[in-house]
Homo-oligomer: A and B are copies of this chain.
């Protein structure tokens, strides 16, 4: 680490309260991308990001290919110290998950509150907080009159939580704006082993296939006494079909489902063993016990095996008490997380075929797909990974963990196929941050750690290539 970099890290520590206030300001915007009712707020969040980056000197624009806008910001040559330095494309998202169930939040999800050194709000960690770690690192260079060690492009999109539907089109149409040498993303977690949390570089992600299935039966809700037993009830039948998705060994029953799952090798199994995964804490923290595909450990199920979750059930009478109806329809939200080398398109087709083969007594399926993402597995022996490891070690005093992640960042596969970029996933979240849940939060000391790691990373990457 250069003296220059050390002064940047010091500046970040001194400016931490102001950075926190900027994050809280962004967190007040309810940029829920999946629900059309929030479209105006999503746009406001894009404007906020663009305005902030423009103020720092970036050339900015918003690009929408039919969906919520993506903010693209490129550093000018004048902002960068060494013209021959590599260009880093930082990717993040400013949209957030829906905040429901609202009644389980201690404070309202879009009124960010600091308690016990943590900021609580929807998006505090996923991903507004993590996006701001990078922006604050850039700000620290520029605010002190320094120039950036690398060329920097930011791509901050607004559709990650609803499947990044139009982002591939943005990448296709604006590849020139996005040319870079590598991509950096902060939307993952630190490694939490038995010896505490440590920054990590994540080298593989599961992909995603998500469906909304609606089974339509009678033309109206019917009295279950008058009609019960004589016709197909879509709630019974959707339960029957969903219930057959997993067998008694919790293996998915769709034919060919596991055919292309990459097998774990002994070396990777040994590396994971060395990470000191604390299963008791991981599951115990959420009141659960191990349960999943027979023949695999919890960590293997999480990182290297596919999963199949019913994310929601709805239909018929859902209120208090009793209503004796045969519902005219029932629905299920169903998703799969898929490790390398599963193909989400093949799975989507096989799933739909599997759904339709069941006898549903004349009921009619309405099948809507929401999102589809390839899994990712990036090489762990590249100079970029080495540079990132050095940078993180310079800040925290020890080497980062090399890990996988069970979750999905759809764009990572697209960066590889469309832009030819490998991605460094360096995140500062914890599993206990309640992302996608009530009381989502981000610890302010990890927020600072993220800012400092990114500052060191920019310095380290400048000399990596």
Contacts and interface: CB of A to CB of B under 8 A. Distances in A.
A232 B246 CA distance: 12
A320 interface: yes
B307 A312 contact: no
A210 B359 CA distance: 26
A361 interface: yes
B337 A229 contact: yes
A219 B248 CA distance: 24
Interface in A414-436: 431, 434-436
A286 B235 contact: no
Given A227-B286, A311-B327, A406-B229, A291 B361 contact: yes
Interface string A401-422: 0000111100000000000000
Contact of A288 (B322, B330, B362): B362
Contacts of A436: 221-223, 323-325
Interface stretch (A96-104, A106-114, A136-144, A171-179): A96-104
A400 B227 CA distance: 22
A217 interface: yes
Contact of A224 (B100, B212, B335): B335
B239 A310 contact: yes
Interface stretch (A62-70, A268-276, A297-305): A297-305
B224 A288 contact: no
20 contacts: A35-B320, A104-B220, A162-B322, A208-B225, A217-B288, A225-B405, A226-B302, A226-B431, A229-B293, A230-B288, A230-B290, A230-B298, A231-B286, A235-B312, A236-B309, A238-B313, A310-B316, A310-B330, A311-B323, A322-B333
Given A226-B431, A325-B311, A35 B319 contact: yes
B286 A322 contact: no
Q: How many copies does the complex hold?
A: 2
A241 interface: yes
Contact of A302 (B221, B230, B326): B230
Contacts of A97: 323
A243 interface: yes
Query: Which one of A222, A224, A240 has the greatest number of beta carbons of chain B within 10 Å?
Result: A224
B312 A323 contact: yes
A367 interface: no
Nearest to A220: B437
Given A286-B218, A286-B219, A286-B220, A310 B225 contact: no
Contact of A315 (B218, B230, B313): B313
Size class of the A contact interface (CB-based, 8 Å): 35 or more
Contact of A292 (B225, B229, B335, B405): B229
Interface of A: 34-36, 97-98, 100-101, 104, 161-163, 189, 206, 208, 210, 212, 217-233, 235-236, 238-246, 248, 282-283, 286-293, 298, 301-302, 305-327, 330-333, 335, 337, 359, 361-362, 370-371, 405-408, 431, 434-438
Contacts of A290: 230-231
A287 to B, nearest CB: 4
Contacts of A337: 224-225, 228-229
Query: Which one of A323, A330, A331 has the greatest number of beta carbons of chain B within 10 Å?
Result: A323
Contacts of A35: 319-321
A287 B321 contact: no
Given A210-B324, A222-B437, A223-B435, 13 more contacts: A162-B321, A221-B436, A225-B405, A227-B302, A230-B292, A230-B302, A235-B311, A239-B310, A239-B313, A310-B330, A313-B332, A316-B333, A318-B333
A243 B253 CA distance: 15
A161 B319 CA distance: 14
Contacts of A298: 230
Contacts of A218: 286-288
B407 A226 contact: yes
Contact of A306 (B229, B324, B405, B431): B229
- 6 nearest A-B residue pairs (beta carbon): A225-B407, A243-B243, A229-B307, A228-B307, A312-B316, A291-B361
Contacts of A361: 289, 291
